[in-house]
Structure 1
């Protein structure tokens, strides 16, 4: 423990933040060894998702020292004189972290620019891609994490998140950084005030005509509202009604227990508002973004209440919509190994290319390059044109015949596409639920679900995966395991990743992996049923199958 105290004293001596200095001094004075070990016993790892963690003092927390070290490591990997754009959301500390990043990058001989106000993550990603002289971008955000967290995402010159080995190179450069109070710092930098690159690109998506839908929208106390309303107006769509209590950015997210539209209860206020609009009307569509607006959730009226579409359901519907509004056999659609296999079938129907990637949008955005995994990202020597990519965790990149406008997931572009899709369905006398049934009849019902196990001790995730690798179950959910893949060894031409996959008899699949952003073990379940009977009965059978898989997997992971 004396070594941890020495590390803490060294940290105190260089920390420029009076709040974290006071926190750490109180821990030292109280002799709180557990709190000290939690902050100095390990450190936040800089990986392909950058940094993300709880705010506080020490290398295992997000704070100004951690951010300045990350900026110095990034600067070491960038060409001197390069232009770097920095965005930030409305979370606690985000603006300060953005300014610290600019000071360090400027002191290292780069040309930093910081957005004047909080912006959605896809705005930052689009700016990097749209300007040829921008060598990198930084987004200070923890996306949908709890209020106590913050994070740090790095984008390379193509506007997509970094992938190996670049993340390891930056991490090594961070490790080589000395004391932050000895870093040269710039006293000023350019302030950027224009979101026009993004608004122009997304509002001009050619995905159908606006309708007369009544739409309710929640930014979930995040930064998406103003940009989304501008995009809808520029695209000619009616302005959504914004949930009043969740309209303004608030880093404490006071009306939701967890600011993630996927979480149970997160949409309750939006659904209540949508069910009681002025004049006794009810909305036709509910759209939610997460706090940095890179994810999108959709709910529709159903049986007197509301049905929230899963990420896979909306992904399949948006894919068909995009492919109906685009042309060319060079089109590519891409998804991840944990998302529904439905997209492969949709791609085959439309005669377009398909790619399956590792989890995360950083990989989806690379799918248009050299062939990877089990996809067909290029053939006959012709480059693929990515028009749609999605992951089951409500992340979508929606494009048109010009390709995708943002090289990352984009919750505002997805919201616009969902509105266009719903308007087109209504003109045909259909609903999104009708379209889901149509897809199931044509491609089979691809039913998906998840099992998430949140832990306090990350070693529990490692040990659970170790048990599955050492003794894979022979049956899950009453189905024989026909194939077991240890994803850490690399399968189907994909790079190695931590996780395992089970292929089951009767066209079912299970993937187990650690979350990349939260202390969770995540299990992804899929069963596929042909629809040769009443579709409600098929859905009930599929739900029972998923329940059986979930029960067996829970037992196997104990």
Structure 2
């Protein structure tokens, strides 16, 4: 195989004494037995995407290992010293259940401490939302969590949080990347100052649990809590360290944990993918729910920032809700609770993203609050909280099964969200309704919105090129009609322009740039195309809607919307 010179230059650098013998031996093996793998491992540097930096573990510049994470941490250390001159800088570090997460977390702690930075390191795996909480609780300047979220077992990752508790956003992320890219590997300080590393656990846990109950609990009667049967699965991840404890603290005793998935395990042995977005991931939980006749199923991803929810429909059958449905249910519940408490005065907002359901705007209008819509990723919702301090954040979410309750945690938080959906379910059941019935009532009030996501996986160098070309093709050959309906408006977030195809008028958009295209058709449908920022995928999001006059007509109307979605996907040749 012919390997480009810039790749060989990177390989040769990693064969110098800066890198340990094991690393050099692995590279030598790849040179002789797997040149394609060598190319994949070195053809680029790992980049920060929507949810930080994720990649396959192994040797090389395009892999997660002690050197790539060490370089990031050294660059971040330098940037922290520049940003907070003369201050004793503090960072907090958490990690999930993935292979090598604990050892990589210690490497990161070592580098920070070697640079004179005080480190609070969790003594065992913890959920990502607890990291965000701990950052503010301990008054740190920065936080790191070692996680690859719901990616396959061979992945790991590195997410950076700032002193407000949210992830890095522009321009800060680019400034830090510039510092990192200006470093050489031999500049990394790996020798720890152990005096600066402090291990944390129970005290922070208790504060986090109490905060979760305070933010997501709404005075549900104990009888209603006792009458709600809950099945919960951690999918072998970190949520086992927090969700059962928070539910118990909130007064929920009727909780049944899927035993086969309760033990943290980076191989995720009982699922094809530890992603609650995938129906298969909740198979065991659904089976247990049917056995126990439970009311609700909740499953979380490995780092406990996403949650999947299943509830019983009007026929008593367990059905999986999608991320848009759980988002509008929880947002509607929060808004109603705030309204009843007399806390809405026009100075509040909810948050969503450009590829999530437009139904969030309808909810905001109905309750007299703002709906701020940002790019994909909760760092943008957290940024709204920071940018608009005169407004109170009620809650918000995104279609990819994430939700945030208030601002104690400034990222997706499946701990508080699990409690919130159980509060909703318990109160609905006590009132003779159900989660599903409440959703249908919302469709009557605000319109029946139905969304669908198609993800196309394209791995490696060739896959990345194919994804990029697909976006280029859409820009060079604009789509003017979808499923027989004319495209009215095209929003191109890469050029920050919105073009009206009827008038030809082009308006600038103020939202940050991103490689996203969104089409709006004359019948109100919305179709978005977006390369994933965390996985080798290109995603297509479809949202359609129509009026629903009565709950009884929901099945017929849903069938119409499903047919419309199929027609759109067929028209775009993506099914």
- Aligned match of 2:198 in 170, 190, 194? 190
Is 1:27 paired with 2:46?
Answer: no
- Aligned match of 1:177 in 183, 206, 223? 183
- Pick closer, same or farther for the CA change 1:309–1:15 going to 2, 3 Å: farther
Shift in Å, 1:239:
4.9
Shift in Å, 1:16:
6.0
Deviations 1:443-462 (A, max 9, x none): 11011111211112111111
State how far apart, in whole Å, the 2-side matches of 1:124 and 1:180 are.
30
Is 1:328 paired with 2:352?
Answer: no
**Which residue number corresponds to residue 147 of structure 1?**
153
- Range with bigger deviation, 519-528 or 488-497: 488-497
- Range with bigger deviation, 420-429 or 187-196: 187-196
- Pick closer, same or farther for the CA change 1:239–1:291 going to 2, 3 Å: farther
State how far apart, in whole Å, the 2-side matches of 1:4 and 1:508 are.
45
State how far apart, in whole Å, the 2-side matches of 1:192 and 1:16 are.
31
Shift in Å, 1:22:
3.8
Q: Verify the 8 A CA contact 2:107 2:190 in the aligned structure 1.
A: no
- Range with bigger deviation, 513-522 or 4-13: 4-13
Shift in Å, 1:91:
0.4
In structure 1, stretches of 5+ residues that fail to align are 371-377
**Which residue number corresponds to residue 131 of structure 1?**
138
- Aligned match of 2:458 in 455, 479, 486? 455
Q: Verify the 8 A CA contact 1:14 1:180 in the aligned structure 2.
A: no
Shift in Å, 1:478:
2.1
**Which residue number corresponds to residue 426 of structure 1?**
429
**Which residue number corresponds to residue 373 of structure 1?**
none
Q: Verify the 8 A CA contact 2:127 2:241 in the aligned structure 1.
A: no
State how far apart, in whole Å, the 2-side matches of 1:231 and 1:338 are.
31
**Which residue number corresponds to residue 111 of structure 2?**
104
State how far apart, in whole Å, the 2-side matches of 1:289 and 1:423 are.
20
Say which SS state the counterpart of residue 113 (structure 1) adopts: strand
In terms of fraction of residues, the more helix-rich structure is: 2
State how far apart, in whole Å, the 2-side matches of 1:200 and 1:14 are.
49
* Pairing of 1:144-543 with structure 2 (within 5 A): 144-180=150-186, 183=189, 185-188=191-194, 189-194=197-202, 195-205=205-215, 206-209=217-220, 210=222, 211=225, 212-276=227-291, 281-302=292-313, 303-326=315-338, 327-329=343-345, 330-370=347-387, 383-399=390-406, 404-456=407-459, 457-491=463-497, 492-532=509-549, 534-543=553-562
**Which residue number corresponds to residue 38 of structure 1?**
40
State how far apart, in whole Å, the 2-side matches of 1:180 and 1:234 are.
49
**Which residue number corresponds to residue 58 of structure 1?**
60
**Which residue number corresponds to residue 501 of structure 2?**
none
**Which residue number corresponds to residue 567 of structure 2?**
548
State how far apart, in whole Å, the 1-side matches of 2:408 and 2:134 are.
10
* Pairing of 1:79-94 with structure 2 (within 5 A): 79=84, 81-94=88-101
Shift in Å, 1:369:
4.5
Aligned length, in residue pairs: 536
State how far apart, in whole Å, the 2-side matches of 1:265 and 1:77 are.
43
Say which SS state the counterpart of residue 266 (structure 1) adopts: helix
Q: Verify the 8 A CA contact 1:14 1:181 in the aligned structure 2.
A: no
State how far apart, in whole Å, the 1-side matches of 2:294 and 2:219 are.
20
State how far apart, in whole Å, the 2-side matches of 1:16 and 1:232 are.
47
- Pick closer, same or farther for the CA change 1:19–1:251 going to 2, 3 Å: farther
Say which SS state the counterpart of residue 191 (structure 2) adopts: coil
Q: Verify the 8 A CA contact 1:69 1:180 in the aligned structure 2.
A: no
- Pick closer, same or farther for the CA change 1:446–1:81 going to 2, 3 Å: same
Say which SS state the counterpart of residue 542 (structure 2) adopts: strand
Deviations 1:278-327 (A, max 9, x none): xxx31111000101001111101233532000111111110111111112
State how far apart, in whole Å, the 1-side matches of 2:408 and 2:383 are.
14
TM-score by length of 2: 0.90
- Pick closer, same or farther for the CA change 1:483–1:449 going to 2, 3 Å: same
- Pick closer, same or farther for the CA change 1:14–1:74 going to 2, 3 Å: farther
Say which SS state the counterpart of residue 386 (structure 1) adopts: strand
State how far apart, in whole Å, the 1-side matches of 2:156 and 2:563 are.
38
Shift in Å, 1:238:
1.9
Say which SS state the counterpart of residue 279 (structure 2) adopts: coil
- Pick closer, same or farther for the CA change 1:20–1:253 going to 2, 3 Å: farther
Shift in Å, 1:225:
1.0
State how far apart, in whole Å, the 1-side matches of 2:256 and 2:38 are.
47
State how far apart, in whole Å, the 2-side matches of 1:28 and 1:21 are.
11
Shift in Å, 1:47:
4.3
- CA-atom RMSD, angstroms? 1.8
State how far apart, in whole Å, the 2-side matches of 1:433 and 1:143 are.
28
**Which residue number corresponds to residue 67 of structure 1?**
69
State how far apart, in whole Å, the 2-side matches of 1:419 and 1:464 are.
41
Deviations 1:482-506 (A, max 9, x none): 1112111225421111111101111
